[in-house]
Chains A and B, each alone.
Chain A
Amino acid sequence: MAMAVDMRLPTFRSDSRSVSLFDRKGSKDLVVPGDVITTDTGFMRGHGTYLDDDNLTASVAGEVERVDKLICVKPLKTRFNGEVGDVVVGRITEVQQKRWKVETNSRLDSVLLLSSVNLPGGELRRRCAEDELTMRSYLQEGDLISAEVQSVYADGALLLHTRSLKYGKLGQGVLVQISPSLIKRQKTHFHHLPCGASIILGNNGFVWLYPTPGQQDEEAGGFFTSLEPISLSDREVISRLRNCLLALSAHKVLLYDTSVLYCYEVSLSQQVKDILKPEVMEEIVMMTQQKLVEHEG
């Protein structure tokens, strides 16, 4: 079996950035910290702004958003700022007294209380003292979970819960980390793609790819993970999806199930490992964008 080594001089990255699909009419209002947004005092201040002698000034580099009387500046690259109801994928970093600390790519680690999880054995079991000692047997450091944001603490930390059967510990699959601003907000973040894999697009930028579970019910309480080997065809699909996600995020394309699917279809002509080459990446992303424009206008 031959080994492929691809070496080259650095390529000249083309400057033609792909046009964002959701470009609003007219130019975007981009500001840098210190730029005065407006001097009109009738507006309310939102995030990313501060008042400087009656001038509304931006404090982050980003895009100005104006909703009625509220002006805020959305930074272009940011940590995840959770809202209630967001679906997140996180990794357990610490096991504490009655809760777990979860890393969700936000400013502070999120919190998952013992009382907010579904223990195996059904939902209605009361939490006994024993549960605290055996917390580690449910979720350990390094485990991945999918959860929903229940509320936001005053300091910005998120409180998560997995009180539904679709959330819980994640089994075999691949985690892809991308910027949270590239995930489009949708009604549902759990998708079973027709190509043979499933995807969870966490709002915090963590995307989880896993093989579509078979006949058995999806979450058997959320803590049972099967360690059976996955078939080669499923693996290929997942690897291809992963590379497509990385390609799309490198070119700042908004991610949602349709864009990922189109990208997958377009990439079928290439080998999986070639997708990450710069020129192939550009090609695939351009074709995906064309397809998106065609189908969605």
Chain B
Amino acid sequence: MPTDTKRVRGPEVSQSLSRFICKPETTLPSDGTRADGRNRDQVDVRPVFVRCGLVSQAKGSAYIEAGNTKLICCVYGPKETERKDETDMKCGRLFADMRFAPFSCPERGSWIQGSQEKDLSLMVLESLQPAVCLHKYPRSQIDVNVMVLENNGSALAHAITCASLALADAGIEMYDLVLGCSIRQDGASYLIDPTFLEESGSNWASGENQGSLTVSFLPSLNQISGLQSDGEMGEETLTAGVRTCIEGCYKLYPVIQQALVKAVRGAAPPPSES
């Protein structure tokens, strides 16, 4: 059975306070506006704050804030790859690692296991791979590290966006930016860009069509590079959900583009007087 060998947990008997709080079970209100004022069934992604080039040591870095979800991503490379296979002769490798800070979730590291982080890292890798021109970097490897500082829902989707920004900031050649968007299906309506409370599994009512879906999308090329769904949903719901996520990505696109342009402009030398 996989165990979490990477963290030092508190003593076995320690428990999180949240179990002792006598609060009634909060289930999602089934209609009306959401807790943060957004609407159901509308493509209402949270406004994001994005900045590139924060970490000076890394080749490229990016920081994203969406609501209370805060993530930072650093890119190191391209550098010589440690393992040499024949496949490396033709194209480079991408390594992605996504971690959660122990204080990032309401309960200290207890609901997320090491294997889940690996799963998310794999998803980030699969989403970024189609976008990076790896054949331009033979025998090299590029490391992408995402750290979630505070998790208030949609961590994976924003991690993907952040990672692609960091790659662009690092000057790595890419076919397109990768944007992530996630959606939470609650019965007949959906909630786009869910918060942590809206997302967490224990709040799932039992009924039809309960689940969540994360899509990572390349907007200019109109390609889906990553797709992951959870829970039980019918096919029409799934396809509608994918379309909604794509729309959400399109909404994010201009903001991300702008942030990147700003970063480049800031870093570019002033035009020479001639």
Answer yes or no: A and B touching, Cβ < 8 Å. Answer: yes
**Interface residues, chain A, CB within 8 Å of chain B?**
93-94, 141
CB distance from A245 to the nearest CB of B (A): 29
In the complex, per-residue mask of B80-96: 1 if CB is within 8 Å of any chain A CB, else 0: 00000010000000000
Q: In the complex, A94→B86 CA distance in Å?
A: 8
Q: In the complex, A160→B126 CA distance in Å?
A: 41
**Interface residues, chain B, CB within 8 Å of chain A?**
86
CB distance from B87 to the nearest CB of A (A): 8
**CB neighbours of A94 from chain B (8 A):** 86
**CB neighbours of B86 from chain A (8 A):** 93-94, 141
Q: In the complex, A293→B143 CA distance in Å?
A: 65
Chain A residue at smallest Cβ distance from B86: A141
CB distance from A60 to the nearest CB of B (A): 34
Q: In the complex, A141→B86 CA distance in Å?
A: 8
Chain B residue at smallest Cβ distance from A136: B89
Q: In the complex, A288→B271 CA distance in Å?
A: 82
CB distance from B269 to the nearest CB of A (A): 39
Q: In the complex, A93→B86 CA distance in Å?
A: 9
Chain A residue at smallest Cβ distance from B85: A141
Could you jot down 3 A-B contacts, CB within 8 Å? A93-B86, A94-B86, A141-B86
**CB neighbours of A141 from chain B (8 A):** 86
Q: In the complex, A278→B234 CA distance in Å?
A: 38
Q: In the complex, A278→B86 CA distance in Å?
A: 38
CB distance from B198 to the nearest CB of A (A): 38
- The 3 residue pairs across chains A and B that have the minimum distance between CB atoms: A141-B86, A94-B86, A93-B86
CB distance from B265 to the nearest CB of A (A): 42
Q: In the complex, A141→B84 CA distance in Å?
A: 14
Chain A residue at smallest Cβ distance from B87: A141
CB distance from B90 to the nearest CB of A (A): 9
CB distance from A101 to the nearest CB of B (A): 11
Q: In the complex, A141→B87 CA distance in Å?
A: 9
**CB neighbours of A93 from chain B (8 A):** 86
Q: In the complex, A94→B89 CA distance in Å?
A: 11
Chain B residue at smallest Cβ distance from A92: B86
Q: In the complex, A93→B89 CA distance in Å?
A: 13
CB distance from B88 to the nearest CB of A (A): 11
Chain B residue at smallest Cβ distance from A141: B86
Chain B residue at smallest Cβ distance from A142: B86
CB distance from B91 to the nearest CB of A (A): 13
Q: In the complex, A94→B85 CA distance in Å?
A: 10
Chain B residue at smallest Cβ distance from A93: B86
CB distance from A265 to the nearest CB of B (A): 42
CB distance from A100 to the nearest CB of B (A): 12
Q: In the complex, A243→B141 CA distance in Å?
A: 42
Q: In the complex, A154→B256 CA distance in Å?
A: 65
Q: In the complex, A209→B56 CA distance in Å?
A: 58
CB distance from A74 to the nearest CB of B (A): 35
Q: In the complex, A174→B86 CA distance in Å?
A: 23
CB distance from A98 to the nearest CB of B (A): 18
CB distance from B89 to the nearest CB of A (A): 8
Q: In the complex, A138→B32 CA distance in Å?
A: 67
CB distance from A95 to the nearest CB of B (A): 8
Q: In the complex, A93→B87 CA distance in Å?
A: 11
CB distance from B36 to the nearest CB of A (A): 46
CB distance from A240 to the nearest CB of B (A): 34
CB distance from B11 to the nearest CB of A (A): 50
Q: In the complex, A37→B86 CA distance in Å?
A: 47
Q: In the complex, A141→B85 CA distance in Å?
A: 11
Q: In the complex, A132→B86 CA distance in Å?
A: 18
Q: In the complex, A94→B84 CA distance in Å?
A: 13
CB distance from B179 to the nearest CB of A (A): 35
